Amino acid sequence: MFTHEYWMKKAYLESLKAYQNGEVPVGAVIVKGNSILGKSGNQVEKLKDPTAHAEVLCITQACEQLSDWRLEGCSLYVTKEPCIMCAGAIRNARIKKVFFGLRDAKEGACGSRFDLLRDEKTGFFADIRAGIMEQDVKELFDEFFKKVRKQ
């Protein structure tokens, strides 16, 4: 049986690829059972697309793998707390388990600033766990933004 840390390491590898490509270092994987159905890092700069967040790209891949837009029974592992847009995509894809590393007090939509995946008004409740590999993710983010500020 694979652990949450095992899958988060896979997401972290995707965040390293994003970092190396000059993207904000967010990485994500979608898992069902013991299989990865989708994996991606941010590609906003590469694709010149504000919706090209790791979570959204990952959801698209997983939907293609399953030939279904419903990702019931899947889990999402992402290095940073999803934003409002990504939380909406997660909700629409019906992903009920979300695991992330770094909280985002400014834009986080999974409990830090907003809590869109556990909203009584919509009746959608996801299991959310934060803080997996948090220090590793924080160090990568700090390094990325330190590098960006120097330029």
Which residues are identified as catalytic? 55
Output the six-digit token pair for 101: 């590393």
Nearest-5° angle of CA 41, CA 103, CA 76?
45
Q: Which of 142, 139, 82 is nearest to 114 (CA)?
A: 82
Amino acid at residue number 146? K
CB 25 within 8 A of CB 19: yes
- Report the DSSP pairing between strands 124-125 and 118-119: antiparallel
Q: Which of 150, 129, 140 is nearest to 23 (CA)?
A: 140
User: What does the alpha-carbon distance between residue 63 and residue 93 come to, in Å, rounded to a whole number?
Assistant: 8
Give alpha helix (H) positions in 21-83. 44-47, 54-66
